[in-house]
Structure 1
Amino acid sequence: MTRREARRAGRALFDVAVSQDDPARVADDLARVVALLDAHSDLEKALTSPMVRPAAKCALIDQLAPRLALTSISHRFVRLLADRDSIASVRPIAAVFHTHLLDHQRVIEAALTTAVPLSEEQAAAIRSGLSAATGRHVSLVHTVDPAIIGGAVARVGSLVLDGSITTQLRRFKQELSAEV
C-alpha cells in the first residue's frame, strides 16, 4: 500500500469511526495492534508473509481480536488489511487516524524544548499560552536539551517559536558582525 493509499484508508476509517461515534476507541484499538506487532516480530512476519494465505491471516486476526478487545470496526478493518496483504500499512494508517482524531477533538500537539526540566505549573502555563494562541487544546511533548542554554523552543505544527538563549546569542553575533 502506498503512502497515498494509507492516507486515504486512514481517513476512510476515521470517517466510519466518527459515524459510529467511536473515533477515540478505534484509535486505541489501532495503537494496541501496532504495539502487538512491535512486541512480536514473528507475528508481524506471519501477517506480512506472501507465503501465508490471506485466509490464514484473517483467521489469526479473528483469534487476536477478542484478546485485544477490538471494536467491530477495528476488527473488520484489520481483517481487511490482512486479507489484502496490507497489514504492514497499519502503522501509517494509525498515524493518519491519530492526526484526524486530534483535529476532530481540536487538539494540537506542541513540542517544547527547554534547557532544564519544567515544573507542572510552568508546563501548564506554557500549555495555556499556546492554547490561547492557537485556539485549540494543546498536548505538550516536553524534551530537555541543555544545548539551548536557557529559554525555550516551541514547535506547534509548522510554527516554530524560538526563545532560546542560543538563538538570541547567534542573532546578537550576527548584528555585531554586520556593524563592523
Structure 2
Amino acid sequence: MRAGKLARRYAQALAELAAERGLLDPVQEQAQLLAGVLDEEPTLLMELDDDRIPREERLGRLRELFGERFSPLFYHFLRLVLEKGRATLLPEICAEVPRAIDRLKGVVEADVVTAAPLAEEQREAVRTRLEAITGRAVRLAVREDPGLLGGVVVRLGDLVMDGSVATRLKRLEDRLKLGRSGTGEMG
C-alpha cells in the first residue's frame, strides 16, 4: 500500500476515535504540534523509527517532550504507530489529520489560485458561492500565481472551475477559429 494512502488511513482512524471521544480539536492541535517538532527536529523521527531503541523508551522520549500536551488517546495512537513500525509516516499522518477531521465535520477544502491578493470580502464571496454549490462548509486555501494574468482558478476535490483570463482568452480564440473555418475562409 502506498505511504500516502496508509497515512490517510491512520489519520482517518485517529480522527474517528477523536470524534467518538469529543476530542477533534485537541487531537488536531496535537498532530500539528507533533508535525512542527518533527519538522524542526528530524533526528527525533529517526529516533522514533529506530527499532534498536525499545518502544517504551521511544514513547518515554515523546512524553518527555510533550508531557500533558498530548492526550492519552494521542499517546495510545503513537504507541500503535510505533508498534506497527510506521514512525516514518508520522509527518504524513499529522498532515492528513486536519483533512480527516474536516471530512468528519463535513468541511471541504477548496484550493483557490488568484493573480492578485483577495480582499476579505472577496474571500467570503468565494467561500459563500462554493458553499452554495457544494451544500457543505468550505475552507479556502488561497495562493497567488502572478502568471495567471487575472481571474480565479478553484479546485474542489476533482472539480476544477477555471475562470482565469488565460482560459477565457483561449476559449475566445477557439471560437474565433471555429467561426473562421465555418465561413469557408482558409485560415
> Under a length normalisation based on structure 2, what TM-score does the superposition of the two structures give?
0.85
**Does structure 2 conserve the Cα–Cα contact (< 8 Å) formed by 1:153 and 1:160?**
yes
Structure 1 residues 166 and 25, CA gap change in structure 2 (3 angstroms): same
Per mean C-alpha deviation after superposition, the further-off stretch among 87-96 and 98-107 is: 87-96
User: What residue in structure 2 maps to residue 168 of structure 1?
Assistant: 168
Question: Per-residue displacement from partner, 1:125-144 (whole Å, max 9, x unpaired)?
Answer: 11111111111121111111
Structure 2 residues not aligned, in runs of 5+ = 182-187
Map 1:40-59; keep pairs closer than 5 Å: 40-59=41-60
Per mean C-alpha deviation after superposition, the further-off stretch among 121-130 and 90-99 is: 90-99
Question: Per-residue displacement from partner, 1:72-118 (whole Å, max 9, x unpaired)?
Answer: 10012113323443221223323443222112222111111111111
**Does structure 2 conserve the Cα–Cα contact (< 8 Å) formed by 1:54 and 1:85?**
no
Percent of aligned pairs with the same amino acid? 30
- The CA distance in 1 between the partners of 2:148 and 2:84, in whole Å, is 48
The letter of the residue matching 1:20 is: R
User: What residue in structure 2 maps to residue 122 of structure 1?
Assistant: 122
Question: Per-residue displacement from partner, 1:32-87 (whole Å, max 9, x unpaired)?
Answer: 111111110121121122333323212212322316x0111001211332344322
Per mean C-alpha deviation after superposition, the further-off stretch among 69-78 and 92-101 is: 92-101
> 1:2 Cα shift?
5.2
Structure 1 residues not aligned, in runs of 5+ = none
How many pairs are equivalent? 179
- The CA distance in 1 between the partners of 2:18 and 2:83, in whole Å, is 20
> 1:30 Cα shift?
1.1
User: What residue in structure 2 maps to residue 6 of structure 1?
Assistant: 7
The answer to whether the aligner puts 1:33 opposite 2:27 as a matched pair is no
**Does structure 2 conserve the Cα–Cα contact (< 8 Å) formed by 1:34 and 1:91?**
yes
Moved over 3 A (4+): 1-8
- The CA distance in 1 between the partners of 2:104 and 2:62, in whole Å, is 29
- The CA distance in 2 between the partners of 1:8 and 1:129, in whole Å, is 31
* 3-state SS in 2 of match to 1:63: helix
> 1:5 Cα shift?
4.0
**Does structure 1 conserve the Cα–Cα contact (< 8 Å) formed by 2:149 and 2:165?**
yes
- The CA distance in 2 between the partners of 1:109 and 1:142, in whole Å, is 10
* 3-state SS in 2 of match to 1:79: helix
Question: Per-residue displacement from partner, 1:149-180 (whole Å, max 9, x unpaired)?
Answer: 11111111111111111001111222223333
- The CA distance in 1 between the partners of 2:139 and 2:12, in whole Å, is 22
- The CA distance in 2 between the partners of 1:2 and 1:72, in whole Å, is 29
**Does structure 2 conserve the Cα–Cα contact (< 8 Å) formed by 1:54 and 1:83?**
yes
> Under a length normalisation based on structure 1, what TM-score does the superposition of the two structures give?
0.88
Map 1:72-87; keep pairs closer than 5 Å: 72-87=72-87
Q: CA RMSD in A?
A: 2.0
**Does structure 2 conserve the Cα–Cα contact (< 8 Å) formed by 1:58 and 1:83?**
no
